[in-house]
Amino acid sequence: MDTKEIKSTVSNLDKASDDATILKLLNILNDGVKPSEKLLRETKVGVAVNKYRSHSNSDINSLVKKMIRTWKESVQNEKNSKKKTASPVSNGNAASSVKEEVKSEAGSTNSKFHQGPRNPKTDGVNTTLYDNSTRNASVSALYTALAIERDDRSSHILSVAREIESEVFKSEYSNVNDNYRNKLRTFTMNLRNKKNPELRERLLSGGIKPAEFIKMSPNEMAPEALKKEIEKLHKKNLFDAQGATEKRAVTDRFTCGKCKHKKVSYYQMQTRSADEPLTTFCTCENCGNRWKFS
């Protein structure tokens, strides 16, 4: 694929809304793109594809991770090849040029294709923002949690982490107390859940504002798959509960011991061991008298 074709496919990918179309376009790019540093920079195809790295569809996010890994290896091999053929002086200039271009494009010292787990130390981010060490540690923990499997700019991740901490701090009347610590611990644990990339995506993409995030319940922060499982379980329990309601029948076989009427409703349940007979519960439709027998 040439640059024009790639840009056209990327444009269609940005407009796609259903999983089938997204997967089809990603496969076209996977098969057609012959990655080079220049091509990736010109077409921005890496940025477009990387948006789907945390997609809820496992086929999509698996394909994207494979594409990013392959393209990263190709670019690295290209750089290694250039290093072997370049003179020491020109090689140093080229390396410096590439470093500056990557820094300019990413808006930080991190490449689009970040290698290894990210945290403030590996990203060269300063989280000493306050005089209080607990607040600084909270920002650092939030940064590390938000950066899991993400290729966002470090400055953006730090901004979101700082906003979350600030909102919690304000909610506790600008005080670092046990409630503050517990809240930050809960939010950090939910963000660190590797099965919940949607939560990190929504925060970093602006789908959830930090002020809204700190008011969310654990159920609202849960992964989509878990939410569906909980909903499925809830529906099953509701169905089982409805199935267990009393199914009454009216008969004239029984006589009420109180008013002697024969219009009696009844239902049966297994109240003892399975080898024991069912217990019959009776209600007189005339006077409301109730009794049981087995």
pLDDT at 89 over 50: no
What token pair was written down for 97? 């040029």
pLDDT at 212 over 50: yes
pLDDT at 131 over 80: yes
Whole-angstrom distance, CA of residue 27 vs CA of residue 33 = 10
Select the more confidently predicted residue: 54 or 212.
212
CATH code: domain of residue 70 = 1.20.930.10
- Residue 279 belongs to what H/E stretch? strand 279-284
Contact partners, residue 261, CB within 8 Å, separation at least 6:
255, 284, 285, 286, 287
Last residue of a domain, one of 50, 81, 106: 106
CATH code: domain of residue 260 = 2.20.25.10
Select the more confidently predicted residue: 221 or 181.
181
**Segment 61-70, tens digit of pLDDT:** 889 888 988 8
* Span of 28-42, 104-118, 235-249 with lowest mean pLDDT: 104-118
Pick the closest to residue 17 from 47, 64, 60, 50 (CA basis): 60
Highest mean pLDDT among 10-14, 94-98, 186-190, 237-241: 186-190
Residue 188 lies in a domain: yes
Shared-domain flag, residues 61 and 157: no
Q: Is the full-model pTM beyond 0.85?
A: no
* Averaged pLDDT of the chain: 83
Pick the closest to residue 160 from 106, 123, 214 (CA basis): 214
Q: What is the pLDDT of residue 86?
A: 62
What residue numbers bound the domain in which 150 lies? 120-227
Shared-domain flag, residues 53 and 84: yes
Residue 19 lies in a domain: yes
Tally of domains within the chain? 3
Q: What is the pLDDT of residue 17?
A: 84
Q: 167 pLDDT band (50/70/90 cuts)? A: very high
Shared-domain flag, residues 12 and 94: yes
